[in-house]
Structure 1
Amino acid sequence: MLAKIYSAVLPQSSICEIKGLNKNQGIVFTADEKNSAIMNWTLPDLLSKEETYITLATFFGRQRKRRYIRHVLGFAIDFDTPEDTTVEDILELYHKDRLPLPELIIATATQGHYQAFNLFPEPIRCKNELLQDRIYRIHKLMAKALGADIHACGAERWVRRPTAQNIVYQEDFEHTAWEDLETWYEAHKQIKRPEDRLRKVIYIGTICSTPGGQRIQEAMAIAPNRSNDFKGNRDEWCYGLGLCLWDAGIPTVEIKTKLFNWNQALEVPLPDLQVDKIFRSVLTGEHHASPYVIEALTGLSAKIQGFYHLPKKRERRTRNHLYEVRQDMIADLLSCGVITEQQKAWAARLGLSYRSLKLVLAQLREEGILEANTGRGRFAQSTYQLSIAYLETLQTNIYLEVAAGAEDMTLTESLKGHTAISPFRGVRALLRKGVRCVGSGVKQGTSCEQRTQFDVEGIDRGG
């Protein structure tokens, strides 16, 4: 059985150096106890050893961690079911959730506990972190749908070594296709609603104040489904207690004292070296107490009381920064008439970003508000001015104060005397003559104003 599973990823011989391994090969970890891993470099080494635990993945590093996974050979689902659970009950769970049936089911040392294996026809090569994360998500959703242990997910975790004594179900002619699991995952994954991300939860208190936090502080390490196991899961309880105390802000000296006192009160205490190792792991700060883990350990609720703080209601914005840039550019064109400077210089003069100015320029040209003439040649210049059609749509009093007895014109702020002319005709004349040019060839501080020629009767001789 093991030869079929690992023959594609374990070589027959190796120089026992990671750098000598082929990219399509890796190493497998085995152990009699979970905290003492042994590396297996070749397939004969794996078959000759009879350790209790094994990894259903290969690694390219000397550590059994997720980031070092090279191949995933299958998924193992850990069922911590009651004592009277049978293999038919496990298969019925797969039928109910429309999952591919496992090819292998083994019974653990605890009565009623099983591990079901979905083996792939070809190992999955983990080429990037995205694929590793997707593998973990599919594995976790499978365990959650089947009602199994969701904390025993991940290709890097230990699984029971299949032997002739513990195998209770085996299917040799079929394998689970990775594409089938991906299709099942896309159909059953939870889709977050957009409004869920708008809520902000404000929590009150710590996990230690919850029923699960109070239970984990008691001198007992028996899980709710392990009432017949007096040792229970002492490591998980001790580590969870340390994380709860650390998150609650308890001083480190007091945390160490509480952990050792809790361990001594157990019926079968842990070695002091193991408790000290757990204490040092807590002080690293890499993990925090999870309400879901504490609830799974104690069987009691560990959710912290909290309330939803909804965001403030704000009025919908009707203007953005591009609208303000647009207004600034139109006002500048109205005051200058014709712009001949470079776009970067124009943006710097108005205090705008070059990207925003180009974007608004394209919008104005598309709408017919702006006229741009691109010159050619060595000393060519581009000119920008407002279109006549746009100017004619504006109100008359924006440009000219045309009334009997008017003394000035607001466009050039130059004295015209007593005139009464058509505003549209006056705008055309001013644009044709060029009221004011702003460009690289104009001296700083001058406006290059050109006055239109009016005769005594107020007639524009320029057209």
Structure 2
Amino acid sequence: MSANNPQALAPDDGLFRLLFRDQLNEMPAPKRRKFRKGREGKDSFVFNDKCGWVFLCGQNLAKAKSCLTYQTLSNLAQHHTYYTPNTFFQRDERKEAQLRWLNAFILDVDVKNGENTGLILPDLLDRIDAAGLPQPSFVVQTPSGGYHVYFVLNEPRRAYTNAIMRYKKLQRAMTTAIGGDRQAVGAGRFFRLPTAANVIYRTDQTVSFEELNDWYAINDFDAATSHSQPLSGTIQFTGLLTQKALKKLISGAFVKPGKRDSTAYTLALAFKVSGYSAAEAEEHLHTWNHRISDPLDSFVISQKVQSAYAESAPAGPTKKWIEYLSDEKFTYVKWEPAKARSERKTSHYHEWATDVVDALRALPDHTISGPQRDLAASWGMSVSSFQEVIKLLLKLEKISVEIVGKGRGAKTVIRLNTDSNIEIFSSSHKEKKDPKAKRRCRSSRSTNASGALLDGQDKASEILISKPEKNVPDSNTGFLYVLERGVGGRPLGFSSPRTRSPDFP
């Protein structure tokens, strides 16, 4: 809308009343009756125990003013840019410890500094839906193209210390879930005043503090630092819905007070991971809803199913929540196959080792040389990973290594040992391949106590089952070192001395 249109720039009184309700009076009291109780009438001023101060400020966030009435708020909003959606005890202190009421969760989604480039409102709403969050009450667009997303509470929350701590924890999790600014977290922060021009989405829908707590717990944001991990990934369950705990929940005979929403969402996840379509899960949940003593609205069931089947939703319910909701012990069989290499960000050492061997085989003289950093980069490895891979290949006698030259001009020469017939396996492959290898290796070592070398196959077995050596050199310590007696094409050992490799700057 045009900046010349005063109606477009006027503050939205309806949204103020949605946020503040009876925390603000209608108009200032006459001086002689200030802060005194009067008859409740259209023009009377009644000071009550629910009042809270709203702060406003300009662009420079300085010289904040406060108000306690809708009339003053409307007047000040004409000349200010920011305000506090949560209210305070005192008119002269905007500190977190002085907060009185928590009215809404506000999430700041920036589109500047390369973040969320090209993000439009439909994309933002899709993110909110995919995160399993309810519809926002309204959305304010900032001049830079960013968004302030409001989730107004159905009942203001008293700003006790533990409530503020929980508020910030929820706000941070919600912000992370939709790709917002994690630095813009706090209960007493300023946000842009809503006007007819900048409010681009509005439902006036409210949400309860408990519902957001349930959303946080169901998504198990604390699992990253606990032992109760979500059942995520590609999982196959053995009779999940036939387990006693799930059967108890599905029966509808037992639903914890205040946990209908959580139970519905948990069951939706259970149906999803058991192979049911969203339509089938919704049908079963409607049947369950009719069984419980205090049914949810039908649209709530549909919302729970949509959230559970969203792309970003957990793959299945958590063990912790199933046990909590059912008061039953719950066990499951979990199988998660390894990801294909193309789907992973990093490779295993044995995979890189195979790449090195394949590259050497493809070369006419089966030899490659160059600085370690260049060689590591050619296979997409860090120098430390490259050193570990070379260490593995030397142990398996697949290659020989020598250093030619000194200082920065030194080159590492790697030659393929074409006589080696030892294969490279991952640790899981080895265990499946020969579970008795450890016993054979122990027997072989006992018969060779005199110090005689093991034969080729026994030596390989010993190498394959040996535990990783401790004190592995880091990237600043060269284990491909040159013996003090000179280079001369001599193979290199790995009992690394505390000296630098000629190939390290």
Larger radius of gyration: 1
TM-score w.r.t. length of structure 2: 0.36
